[in-house]
Amino acid sequence: MGIRYDLKRSRRKVARKAATQYERLDERGRFWALRGVTLRVESGESLAVIGPNGAGKSTLLKVLAGIIAPDEGTAEVRGSIATLLKLEAGFDDELNAEENILLVGEYLGIPAPEMRRRIPEILEFADIGEFSNAPARTYSAGMRARLGFSVATSIEPDVLLLDEVLSTGDEAFKEKSRKRMVDLMKKARAIVYVTHDLDAAEEFCTRAIQIENGRVIADGTASDVIGAYRKRSLK
């Protein structure tokens, strides 16, 4: 019983040499977004992933979500997964809110009746009012984000993968979504939360890792790792 990540040394080839740090290129000139990462998240843990932009945090989430496969080593996840990598995942501009909710449900492989049952709740939480009958292209950025957040968080997963989502929408929605996140984090068996918001990471997570240049450079309790990271970046 439990959720296990056995992520060892995943890599990502990108022909983006111009903007690349040389230490992340291998002898054949390939770019390793992540390398030599060994990590195991147990059931009941919530892991914060911190580090500067371009460190490989989001790539780690994509590997865990099954979107990209590791080129080196293996990654395993046990249990159902919900991902909030970017909001508005999978929305089609020409479909209305209800149709988009069903579409995302189909992408995720959730049975249609179950998804249909959740529609009222999702729409209520997203609070997009009359626009729910209009095609998604007419939505404001905030509305799209709210709908995306509501859809993704309406699913009760074993494993929750989050990429910087608490900073969505206006203050009122932020407060509401914060509450829901806490709820979800209580229900999910394991959480991996990529963020720059150190306060939130400290509040929600039990453990933290710091990634830099594609490698894990710190791993420990959230307060330790985040405390050390704060000190370093202040210097």
Give me the 176-205 binding string for another protein, x by CB under 8 A, dash otherwise.
-----------x-x----------------
Q: What kind and span of H or E run contains 108?
A: helix 97-108
Instruction: Give the separation between CA 117 and CA 217, rounded to whole angstroms.
Output: 44
Q: Where in 131-150 is the site for another protein (CB under 8 A)? A: 135
* Beta carbon of residue 6, minimum distance to another protein (angstroms, whole number): 8
Instruction: Give the separation between CA 95 and CA 133, rounded to whole angstroms.
Output: 9
121: number of CA atoms within 13 Å, CB side? 11
* Beta carbon of residue 33, minimum distance to another protein (angstroms, whole number): 9
Residue pair 36/72 in contact (Cβ under 8 Å)? The answer is: no
165 binds another protein, rule: CB under 8 A: no
Residue pair 100/91 in contact (Cβ under 8 Å)? The answer is: yes
Q: Which of 72, 99, 197, 212 binds another protein (CB under 8 A)?
A: 99
Q: Which is nearer to another protein, 68 or 218 (CB)?
A: 68
Q: Which of 127, 158, 202, 219 binds another protein (CB under 8 A)?
A: 158
Q: In which residue are the tokens 């950025």 written? A: 141
| 56, 61, 66, 70: CA torsion to nearest 10 | 30
Instruction: Give the separation between CA 150 and CA 134, rounded to whole angstroms.
Output: 17
Q: Where in 50-89 is the site for another protein (CB under 8 A)? A: 62, 64-69, 74-81, 83, 85-86, 89
Q: Which is nearer to another protein, 89 or 228 (CB)?
A: 89
Number of residues that bind another protein (CB under 8 A): 44
Q: Which is nearer to another protein, 100 or 195 (CB)?
A: 100
Q: Which is nearer to another protein, 47 or 226 (CB)?
A: 47
Phi-psi label, residue 9: left if phi above 0, alpha if psi -120 to 50, beta otherwise = left
Q: Which is nearer to another protein, 7 or 216 (CB)?
A: 7
